[in-house]
Structure 1
């Protein structure tokens, strides 16, 4: 029997890569048709899975990218359908991979930080991006 008041545990990343232009970085944003939103790749932890393993798995599943975790970012806490949710985040550098659209994520965009910030749907994701850009060494 699960405790409905226990937080849903999840993990994700602010995924980045060197810009194709050679100047600066680009941030990966995923579009989830179920919510019609743009966000950072993230998802629920599986039983016994570490937050780090979950973040790596979710990035791979949602973006097709293998990545290397960087700086730990603040944990984001909010409520979904009356239940608390805690998402642990890291910055992560994309290493390789190819995006394939799915029912869960139908689009992937790589944008410089300022346009990425404008495209993100939730204010908490914009704050996370600001923190990631301020704390990362690219």
Structure 2
């Protein structure tokens, strides 16, 4: 099994009303997804989630509530991705070999932009962890 970790990365909207979520474009796959990646040998899921967010988005973050684990087939193998809500705490996006674009979008727009149903479901789960504003 392929083990991976990722985040629904969020920040307060610049206008102070609500939140924005980070969605990334991966040119290799031609898709829009949430930041995630494979665990390195001996690495725990929490560390991998923070590392992958930094590598793919340039953002530091603080992990919050755990979100549902996604399980699906990837290249004929079962892949399990453990997710957390994560608040962006700093940094700046720089294009890299894995990610060529990052968008900060309101949750409904993020859900519409994401390529995969399991990512859209994670946005819904994330919203359920947030108190109403």
| TM-score bucket (shorter structure) | over 0.9
Residues 1-138 of structure 1 aligned to structure 2 (within 5 Å) = 7-137=1-131
- 1:17: Cα distance to partner? 0.1
* TM-score of the aligned structures, taking structure 2 as reference length: 0.97
Contact between 1:33 and 1:104, CA under 8 Å: does it hold in 2? Answer: yes
SS at match of 2:108: helix
The higher radius of gyration belongs to 1
The runs of 4+ residues in structure 1 deviating greater than 2 Å are none
Displacement of 1:21 in angstroms is 1.3
CA–CA separation in structure 1 for the residues paired with 2:70 and 2:38: 13
Aligned residues: 132
- Using the size of structure 1 for normalisation, the TM-score is 0.94
Give the deviation of 1:22 after TM superposition: 1.1
Does the aligned pair in 2 maintain the 1:75–1:88 contact within 8 Å?
Answer: yes
5+ long unaligned stretches in structure 1 = 1-6
What is the Cα deviation at residue 134 of structure 1? 1.1
- Report deviation, 1:135: 1.3
Q: 5+ unaligned residues in a row in structure 2: which ranges? A: none
RMSD: 0.9
SS at match of 2:95: coil
